[in-house]
Homo-oligomer: A and B are copies of this chain.
Amino acid sequence: MTSSPIERTVFVVSDSTGITAETFSNSVLSQFAQFEFQAVRIPFIDTIEKAQAVADRINQCAQEQGQQPLVFSTLVDPKMAHIIGAANCTFLDLFGAFVRHIERALGVKSSRSVGRSHSGGMSKRYNNRIEAINFSLAHDDGQYVNGLEQADVILVGVSRCGKTPTSLYLAMQYAVKAANYPLIPEDFQRGTLPATLAPYRKKIFGLSIHPDRLSEVRNERRPDSKYASVEQCRMEVAEAERLMRMEGIPWLSTTTKSIEEISTKILDDVGLDRRSY
């Protein structure tokens, strides 16, 4: 009935960072577009005392606003979860809702140990991620071509089509060593891939972008330059797509996709095995 969004407070409570719970809550709450949610993330709740303090905060919020806040929790410890659940709120227990179901399916009790899901800074998987980030940084924008044989994937595309953030995301999220290499007018004149890349054809993946969007992005960096002009962008994109088609390189358009979506599609397409998972 009303056109201005209705405000609701959302608490995200976790014994760890709360990042997963917050991402999940954003995703579910996006289905209620008529509301404007004010999220309060409360991480590292790992004692009964801290849980009690959060419950007090939730109760105070409920009283002040005259309505129950939504509370997403990934607390593993059932005592702490119970304390939060007893507060004046709509309690959404992400961990508890599934762990019993899984216990039944597997025929065992869960360890219910706080901190188990945090690999910390010393695990193999963590070291792989850091190594991949360093690799992707060193091999950003073709600046360093030694070691390309170690790359899991090499992204190519015109300047500012999304190669750098995608490479970094692949490294950070998936421990994938992602190099990236720009396609520039010299490549289009020659009509072939840069010679440096020729031995690695199988791991090359292309990114493209709509010329109008590319022009927007480039204009932010170098306003009113030839580099940012729609004509130049149109030419470069057309040439890059022609080159990728000729060389048989798979590619996708980044225009309306997030880094997460682009990265997921690349992993699928290149058939990269997920590591350490």
Contact = CB atoms under 8 A, between A and B. Distances in A.
Given A26-B117, A44-B265, 5 more contacts: A70-B105, A92-B102, A94-B94, A121-B254, A137-B137
A66 interface: no
A29 B31 CA distance: 27
Contact of A260 (B19, B111, B133, B264): B19
A121 B165 contact: no
A258 B172 contact: no
Contacts of A35: 106
A24 B94 CA distance: 9
B95 A32 contact: no
Contacts of A98: 28, 92, 94, 97
Contacts of A264: 17-19, 43-44
A102 B25 CA distance: 11
A28 B133 contact: no
A195 interface: no
A219 to B, nearest CB: 13
Given A19-B260, A118-B261, A264-B44, A111 B28 contact: no
A196 interface: no
Given A26-B277, A172-B165, A116 B31 contact: yes
Given A274-B39, A274-B41, A31 B112 contact: yes
B90 A33 contact: no
20 contacts: A18-B264, A22-B277, A28-B98, A28-B117, A31-B113, A32-B110, A68-B105, A70-B105, A90-B101, A90-B105, A92-B98, A92-B102, A118-B258, A121-B162, A121-B256, A121-B257, A126-B258, A133-B168, A134-B164, A168-B168
A274 B254 CA distance: 26
A173 interface: yes
Interface string A24-67: 10111111111100010101100000000000000000000000
Interface string A237-277: 00000000000000000111111110111001000001001
A35 B108 CA distance: 10
Given A39-B274, A119-B258, A31 B99 contact: yes
